[in-house]
Amino acid sequence: MLNRVCRGAVVLSVLCVATTGCQKRHERLNAPPQGSTDRPHELQKNFIYMNDNAMLQDSAVADIHFEPHSPELSGLGIRTLMRMGELLSISGGTIRYQTSSTDEFMIGRRLTSVREFISAAGFDTANIHVEAGMARSAGMAAADAIAIKQAAPASGSSTDPDAQGGSLLGPPPGP
């Protein structure tokens, strides 16, 4: 009798766990170029906007967007170039291929792959250019980096910018 009760409790527990797994499916934050979902989260539109702005800021592809040792675009490369093409078709721009490779032949073939893909996808190749080079991000000027390093507190001191007048570059300007 005790075995039946134990088995019944186990079966009931399994049924409870199984039915709670059948609840409403969670919303997803997928945003282009990663894909889409039929269950969008209410914040998805914010992620799309942020992804698009970041993509436009860099306007770059890298080695990860290609199959290893090949000029063929990877799945990520295809999705990225589709979205970048949509965004750049509005105002034009340049897609840069950023690589640490020194193989000029492979670099040329990959640039050709990007150009051909953009053209085949139907984007205006007169307004979208492709070239080798670093991403568009402005980065930091060397003089600014040197000034920050010189103004940095000694090791072990506070690195809180507010404790130093609001900036690592020195006190705020004023009278």
Which residues in 116-127 are b (16+ Cβ under 10 Å) and which e? ebbeeeebeeee
Q: What's the whole-number mean pLDDT along residues 59-66?
A: 91
pLDDT score of 113: 96
Q: Tell me the average pLDDT of the chain.
A: 76
* Cα three-residue angle 77-83-88, rounded to 5 degrees: 115
Q: Is the pLDDT of residue 20 over 80?
A: no
Q: Which residue type is seen at 160?
A: D
pLDDT score of 59: 87
pLDDT score of 56: 82
pLDDT score of 135: 78
Q: What's the whole-number mean pLDDT along residues 94-104?
A: 90
Domains contained in the chain, CATH given: 59-132 (3.30.1330.60)
Distance CA 89, CA 83 (A): 10
- Termini Cα distance of the chain: 90
Taking only Cα atoms into account, the Rg of the chain, rounded to an integer number of angstroms, comes to: 26
C-alpha dihedral (167, 46, 136, 86), degrees to nearest 10: -170
C-alpha dihedral (69, 95, 134, 58), degrees to nearest 10: -120
Per the CB < 8 A criterion, the answer to whether 27 and 42 are in contact is yes
Distance CA 152, CA 114 (A): 43
Token code pair at residue 26: 């969670």
Per the CB < 8 A criterion, the answer to whether 107 and 99 are in contact is yes
For the question of whether the overall pTM of this predicted structure is more than 0.75, the answer is no
Q: Residue 131's Cα: distance from chain center in Å?
A: 20
